[in-house]
Every structure is written in C-alpha cells, then in structure tokens.
Structure 1
Amino acid sequence: MPRIEHLTDRSQLPTEQHVEYDFIFDTLHRVGGPFGILLHSPGLAEKVCRAGKQVRLGSDITMIERELALLSTSREKDASYEWATHVEIARREGMSEDAIVAIRENRSTDDLALEEKEIIDYTRTLLRTNRVPQDMFDALIERHGPRWVVEITATIGQYQYIAAINNAFEVEPKSGGEVLPIPMPNAG
C-alpha cells in the first residue's frame, strides 16, 4: 500500500487537473504506478509522462535496448514495481534469459552478446559511480552515435526518477509479477 493516497481515478482530482489526468490516461491507457503519486503535485505527473513518452516513443533505441537499460536501472535502484512490469515486456520482446538473469542477480556480463553487455555495463557504471569512463563512452559513440547515447542515458535517467518515486512512496508491484530480490541492508 502506498504511503499516501494513490490518485488513480479522475474523480479523485479537482476539475482543473482533469486535463492532466486525461493526458496520462490517453498515453498509458491507465493511471497508476508513480503517476498515482505524482498527481499530488499538479502539473508534475503530466511533465514526467511527456518525458517518458519521448523516451519510449520518440527514441531511436530499440525495445530490447530500452528494456535492457530499464531493467538494469531497476536492479540498481531495487525498483520492484518497474522490474515486475518490464521483465514481462523484455521477455515478450525477445530479450535473452541470460541477460535477465545477469541483471537480476548482478552477475558478470562477460558471456552476453555485445549489445546486451554494453548497455548493462554502461547502466551499472553510470548509476554506481555517477560517471562513465572515457573509453566506454567513446566506444558507445563509435558504435551507435551521439543520439543513441543521449537516448539510452535519458532512459536510464527517466527510470531512475520513476524508481525514486515508487520506492519512496512504497508503490507495490502488481500481484503475480516477478519479484525482484532486494538485498538486505548491512546491519550495524
């Protein structure tokens, strides 16, 4: 149960916020997850949804590339809500089970295909160190070009933001979704 009321029905909002609700509903075909929380700040949910729409629909990255970045971000941020939703999408889109296991269990990427390895390693490095080594950056620019690197990085940033909302407000994953194992914090 979220820590604050989840605003998922249009009737829960003042009339002046119905346009915002409608935009989210029209884009996602529902209002839930982080948007049920973000609607507490008029205007914010729509702006986040617009950025997400651009990342998802206005990007040149493939669905598999997007889901690799998204699942890697979910793992790094212990984001159960996004993991449960997107691991299903990743499988449906044809992501290898080896990549899913490597992400979920924080395993080495050495045996994965280059396309999987580079996105997982890039995401892990960026989120663990808040930087990317020049050689890693240069290799991605060389292979994919500036637009791709901007868009994969924006995807990581977007879902890091979503993870923060879902985790802080304890938005639970849908029932029956794959559970992301969350490491226990160190005692002491």
Structure 2
Amino acid sequence: MNALTSEQRAIYEDILAGPRGRLDPPLAVWLNSPGLARTAQELGGFCRYGTSLPPRLSELAILITGSWWRASFEWAVHAPIAIAAGLDEAVVEQIRKGIRPDFSAQDELCVYDFASELLNERRISDHIYAAAEAALGTTGLVDLVGILGYYGLISMTLNAFQIPAPGNAKPF
C-alpha cells in the first residue's frame, strides 16, 4: 500500500475505519480512480449497512444480483452472510442454480420478483410493483433499487477485472 497517492491513502484509511474494516477486491480496483472509489464506498456503506430493508432482504437482493451477473466472488462472500441473516439455505442454493425459489416469506418473494423482473426485463410490471410496494413501502423500493444498482456495479467490476472467488471457489 506504499504506492498509493495521498488521495488514495485517505480513501483506503476511510474504508478500513468504516464498517467493512478491510479493503475487498472491488474497492481495491476502484482505488485506481479515487473519485469513483470515494463515492462508491460511501454508497456501498449505505447499501450494505444503512437501508430501510432488514439484512435478510438486503442479502437476498445482493445474491440475486450476484447470481444474475455470475459474480463468483460476490456470491462466495454473501451467500454465508445471507444464511446468517435468516435466508433459508435451500433458497440460497436455488438462486445459485438459477431456479425460482420456493419462498415461505412473502417479503422475500416480493424482493425476488421485483429484482428478477427489473434485471431481466429492465422494467417493473404494475402487479409486481404493487406487491413489492405493499410489502416494502416506497422507501424500501428505492433502497432495493439502490442495492441492485450498487451490487451490479460491484459484480461488473469483479467480472471485468476477473476477480476470482476466495479460495478460487467457482459457484456457477
């Protein structure tokens, strides 16, 4: 880390002092563009730790995004976090395999349908929107879209710079 500019070092220190406490690969790549790194790590702090969604639903959205992008690093990091946050292991495995899960919780189904439709169709149908808004509220929907967008950026970064999963696990 000695080769960092003063601006990069300041961002690096902010990352270490924040809730992450470490420099994960997408952030390490982003440090090559300090403006992006600063802005993205602040957005990421909110998307990971500060939204109105409970961790179980945030992690579900992260897994859906990571699976859609086939971002092995993202999946390997967040699958255990999602299970610890309360997602059923069978649901996590079905998402990994690209199978529509059998949800027992209505709010999880709403997040899945909303995220999947937005990623696949690039739009949200009226009935999916209405169900998700009833389950999550407008603020929850805005936060959900933010999570999907931020973790799309992470997944694209991981894939573009060919960041392998920890231990070279290949979940997809």
> Paired residue for 1:146, among 138, 153, 161?
138
Pairwise CA RMSD: 1.4
Partner of residue 158, structure 2 = 166
Partner of residue 104, structure 1 = 96
Q: Identity of aligned pairs, percent?
A: 28
User: What is the CA–CA distance in structure 1 between the aligned matches of 2:76 and 2:130, rounded to whole Å?
Assistant: 33
Aligned pairs for 1:91-130 within 5 A: 91-109=83-101, 111-113=102-104, 114-130=106-122
**2:71 is aligned with 1:75:** no
How many angstroms does 1:176 deviate by? 6.6
User: What is the CA–CA distance in structure 2 between the aligned matches of 1:172 and 1:12, rounded to whole Å?
Assistant: 23
User: What 5-or-longer segments of structure 1 have no aligned partner?
Assistant: 1-8, 182-188
Aligned pairs for 1:126-137 within 5 A: 126-137=118-129
How many angstroms does 1:87 deviate by? 0.5
User: What is the CA–CA distance in structure 2 between the aligned matches of 1:115 and 1:127, rounded to whole Å?
Assistant: 18
User: What 5-or-longer segments of structure 2 have no aligned partner?
Assistant: none
User: What is the CA–CA distance in structure 2 between the aligned matches of 1:106 and 1:17, rounded to whole Å?
Assistant: 38
**2:28 is aligned with 1:16:** no
Report if the CA contact (8 A) 1:52-1:158 is conserved: yes
The two structures have a TM-score, normalised by structure 2, of 0.92
> Paired residue for 2:171, among 135, 158, 180?
180
The two structures have a TM-score, normalised by structure 1, of 0.85
Partner of residue 25, structure 1 = 16
**2:57 is aligned with 1:65:** yes
The structure whose residues are more often helix, as a share, is 2
User: What is the CA–CA distance in structure 1 between the aligned matches of 2:132 and 2:147, rounded to whole Å?
Assistant: 15
How many angstroms does 1:144 deviate by? 2.0
Q: Return closer, same or farther for 1:129/1:63 CA change in 2, 3 Å cut-off.
A: same
Report if the CA contact (8 A) 2:60-2:112 is conserved: yes
Report if the CA contact (8 A) 1:20-1:43 is conserved: no
Partner of residue 38, structure 2 = 46
- Post-superposition Cα deviations, 1:132-163, rounded to whole Å, max 9, x if no partner, equal 11111111112221001111111111100110
Equivalent position amino acid for 1:108 in 2: R
Q: Return closer, same or farther for 1:69/1:16 CA change in 2, 3 Å cut-off.
A: closer
Partner of residue 156, structure 1 = 148
11-20 or 67-76: bigger deviation: 11-20
Partner of residue 4, structure 1 = none
Partner of residue 5, structure 1 = none
